[in-house]
Structure 1
């Protein structure tokens, strides 16, 4: 006797929430990095596997990004950060990648993945050029509120930063703080988002919209 199907139209299983991971890589921004390497006649490929035991170079620094809290029960809409932790790695065979650490919402503590602006491509390209021996480079500096030594005076909530938890954030007091404090200047000089490099690797227009202002400011700094 055949058992009747009591649920002929089962609901599809929910897709995994990528926002639950503590970091991500952004291969769609490789084109933007390549464009910034072209003036030095450098061609590198994106290393899709995150490996810490086969790389030839490694550097921790900070970039800028915008976060959205996707928790519908949370009153917070999102925030911007000038201190998004990132680990840049170079591998044999002219390959590289960059691990970008996520941050937590101050209100509900849910993890959020950032939407990155042009500082990602500029920082990554600068570091790759340094490793490839390019001389006479002007280091990229972003953001406001520079204190002594080029570090930002804005408070950094380390307990909300996955880079700090991993000891990779130069804005916190973790094990990786020293590396990012030199060479590129973790403190950042404020500017408008006049066209950002988005997740599709292209240049968008302004990002003003519901809940967002035109300046790199948000409900809190991270």
Structure 2
């Protein structure tokens, strides 16, 4: 199995100065180039638990990029040519083609709309009104790579057990005249556990939206994919009584969290209160 020794870029360290930050940036570029040159089997076989947080993020990003490219190529290849004769689909039969790559195992066939991470497929059109919360079934492929056999429950029902946490996200006000944008390290999220027959485990993560500080309108939300996956994978492994690594004490400062602007606080699912201080626990153990 691949390890850090297989790549020229070793583990990265936190808390370096400007020269160190430049070196980390160069190391990231080299590491990303090496990932792009890997074949599919080698890339999918990487044990990301042996890599640094930033390297795991880059690995997930490259896997997702390739998965998206395969799906687009498959969709293009299935387009009928000029001389193709289109036949009406049979009544009651879905004509949706199967996509290549890992299958998304879901209890519910219709995904709930939600914004995409920039590290995944292109963002969805923002013509639809934003919702107060979202599920993200499109990221299940990356979760199941690290927690095989787990299922995604695409339904807004209470779980057998629920774990409140927070992730990182960026927002853009849905009101055209406002155009306000903001970042939050306290995007309220509830990871929910479901028990299936045969001691099988299912999950989902309900991610709550935020409102604009200027006009109080809901925002268009984009989540940080790497943090979202890491939170879920860690919690699923704990629920499976598997050993998990201790998260490093890395912090990122964002603007103070406002309960009046957080849909999670309104729903009673957010554990953060108003604070005059900057939020500094994005990657703390939660």
TM-score, normalised via structure 2 length? 0.47
Segments of structure 2 that go 5 or more residues without pairing to the other structure are 1-125, 275-279
Q: Which residue of 1 aligns with 2:219?
A: 112
**Residue pair 1:67, 1:80 contacting (<8 A) in 2 also:** yes
CA distance in 2, matches of 1:91, 1:85: 20
- The 5 Å alignment of 1:48-197 reads 48-52=154-158, 55-76=159-180, 78-93=181-196, 94-117=201-224, 118-139=226-247, 143-144=251-252, 155-172=256-273, 187-188=281-282
Q: Which residue of 2 aligns with 1:209?
A: none
Q: Aligned-pair distance for 1:80?
A: 0.9
Q: Aligned-pair distance for 1:119?
A: 0.5
Verify: 1:17 aligned to 2:118, yes or no.
no
The one-character-per-residue Cα deviations of 1:127-149 (angstroms, maximum 9, x if unpaired) are 1111111124324765335xxxx
CA distance in 2, matches of 1:65, 1:142: 17
CA distance in 2, matches of 1:95, 1:140: 27
**Structure 1 pair 65/58, CA: closer, same or farther in 2 (3 Å)?**
same
CA RMSD in angstroms, aligned pairs only: 2.5
Tell which structure's C-alpha radius of gyration is larger: 2
Q: Aligned-pair distance for 1:156?
A: 1.3
Q: Aligned-pair distance for 1:16?
A: 8.0
Q: Which residue of 2 aligns with 1:179?
A: none
Q: How many residues align?
A: 149
Segments of structure 1 that go 5 or more residues without pairing to the other structure are 1-14, 146-151, 174-185, 191-222
Q: Which residue of 2 aligns with 1:180?
A: none
Verify: 1:33 aligned to 2:143, yes or no.
yes
Which of structures 1 and 2 has the larger relative contact order (alpha carbons within 8 angstroms, sep 6+)?
1
CA distance in 1, matches of 2:245, 2:210: 31
CA distance in 1, matches of 2:138, 2:239: 22
TM-score, normalised via structure 1 length? 0.60
Q: Aligned-pair distance for 1:49?
A: 0.9
